[in-house]
Amino acid sequence: MTTSDMTDPMADEAANITPLHGDEGGIGFRSPPHNFEAEMALLGAILVNNRSFERVQEFLFPEHFADPAHASVYAACAHLIEHGQIADPVTLKNYFKDDADLQAIGGQSYIAELANAVITIQNALDLGREVYDCFLRRELIDIGGQVVNGAYEYELDTPAPQQIERAEEMLFQLAEEGSTETGFRDFKSAVTGAIDMAAAAYKRDGQLVGVPTGFTDLDKLLGGLHESDLVIIAARPSMGKTALATNVAYHAASTKQRKDGPDGTEIEESESVAFFSLEMSAEQLATRIISEQAHVRSDSIRRGDVREEEYNRVFAVSQALHGLKLFIDDTPALTMSQIRTRARRLKRQHGLSLIIIDYLQLINPPANSRGDNRVQEVSQITRGLKALAKELNVPVIALSQLSRAVEQREDKRPQLSDLRESGSIEQDADVVTFIYREEYYREREQPTPRDSEKQETYLERQHRHDELMEKCRGKAEVIIAKQRHGPIGTVVLQFNGDYTQFADLSPDDYLPEDRY
């Protein structure tokens, strides 16, 4: 056998290896994704016809260009055009006298070359998308590098699940905003957003812009639940916090909002609601919602102690609920980081209009903060909830317990100072709402005969108690104690304890009165 007849397996394997892109001199170097030709063509199109800038200005910014000189030219064009001036090689001359990046590639003559080399301006949008796509790919490479380096570095403070959450966070931000950091917004864009919101409300004839709660008077006072707001619903046990939250969740998920579609026309779209239940199971919450809507006691449903007509109502309601975009996560003891990760994932997959958390004090503090006092832990949690509302641009409702100080007062209506670990909750929340049911306390104050008390006096006290019970029976006060963007006040709702259901009060004039 001759040498030429022998086959070297290693040589064959090496021959099948695909060389790296941009491999120069066998070094194995890969340059980051870029398209300098597209950047040059886009800049030339803008210089020839400034209207081309309008096609890309909504999504393309200077930092998206791979070449720093091209980024400088684009920023200068944007500045001139937004100030009503013409951007061309002549008007740009004074901008680049001291620009080292531009001087290195030709200076003023290079700008003129860009304008003279343009073939067509019709494809400016496609060129802008190509530049933006290359930017996203570079960002993905950067995120990938951070993930790889972080995984190699073994640190007790950053276990693998936390690194996964961080990777998801960076990918979500890139998908939503095209950048891992948003930076400053000029006041012009903030004013434009405010005017757009006002215009949307005007077009709806004064109807809600925010997510509806389903309660007429409450929606009038709040204007619905607004994007990026943190809403606290607080009460003592048995006041109906979870009941109100499930009522709002059902109303929101069953509401179709009119929104602008991709082609500019109005479309109807169901609201998507995420419900984090750290106390009750998903089945218990579902039973509550079925009970509310079918008007069948939830304990009867659990025991199977229902009549045929009630069973038929339960079945019909459960069928109707199948189509709701209401997602329940009943994992106990979640951390703020886990809630954030799961909410981001849900928004990517199904959209997201509202987040509800039941309840705030059951959220686990971050691992590195355990051992701090409870006030500091709650402060971190409330700041995290507010940051989540802003990041996902949805309202977040968090239920909260009240301290026992309420029970020590004659008037047991809650106050802001009654919030447990209250400082940060009150400070971070945009809206603080309390639930107060006088009926709950009246039921526990049934008069009993006193020593040496006349029968007439006892009967008079009993009669007075019955009168007060009748006035507050089935009523619940929802007290808006803080609203960053609107008035405070009290809304009275009907409460049906059998079905744990809140409803609008029929206008028969219930006015909450002092207890004594």
The set of residues, in sequence order, having a beta carbon less than 8 Å from that of 255 and lying 6+ positions away, is 211, 212, 214, 270, 271
pLDDT-derived band at 231 (thresholds 50, 70, 90) equals very high
Per-residue pLDDT tens over the stretch 390-432 = 888 899 999 988 888 787 788 888 888 888 666 678 888 899 9
User: Whole-angstrom Cα distance, residue 36 to residue 117?
Assistant: 14
C-alpha Rg value of the chain to the nearest Å: 31
**How many whole angstroms from its chain centre is CA 241?**
21
Percent of the chain with pLDDT over 90: 8
User: Which of the residue ranges 11-20, 81-90, 184-193, 323-332 would you say has the lowest mean pLDDT?
Assistant: 11-20
Q: pLDDT value at position 355?
A: 94
pLDDT at 20 over 70: no
The neighbour count for residue 439, using CB atoms within 10 Å, is 19
Of 11 and 95, the one with more pLDDT: 95
Q: Where are the domains of the chain?
A: 36-174, 209-434
Alpha helices in 233-281 (DSSP H): 241-253
For 36-174, which CATH class?
mainly alpha
Amino acid at 138: R
> Following DSSP, what letter does each residue of 271-307 receive, concatenated?
--EEEEESSS-HHHHHHHHHHHHHT--HHHHHHT---
For 411, which DSSP code? S
Predicted local confidence at residue 50, as pLDDT: 87
What is residue 121's predicted lDDT score, i.e. its pLDDT? 63
* Cβ-contact 392, 230 below 8 angstroms: no
pLDDT band of 55, cuts 50, 70, 90: confident
The CATH H-level (homologous superfamily) assignment of domain 209-434 is P-loop containing nucleotide triphosphate hydrolases (3.40.50.300)
Helix axes 36-48, 68-82, angle to 10 degrees: 20
Rounded CA separation 104/123 (Å): 28
Q: Taking 90 as the threshold, does the pLDDT of residue 167 lie above it?
A: no
d(CA 17, CA 20): 9
Residue 78 has pLDDT above 60, yes or no: yes
pLDDT tens column, 274-290: 999 888 888 888 888 88
Across the chain, mean pLDDT equals 77
Q: Which residue has the higher pLDDT, 414 or 258?
A: 414
CA dist., res. 211 & res. 351, Å (int):
14
Phi, psi of 214 (to 5 degrees): 95, -5
With 0.85 as the threshold, say if the pTM is over it.
no
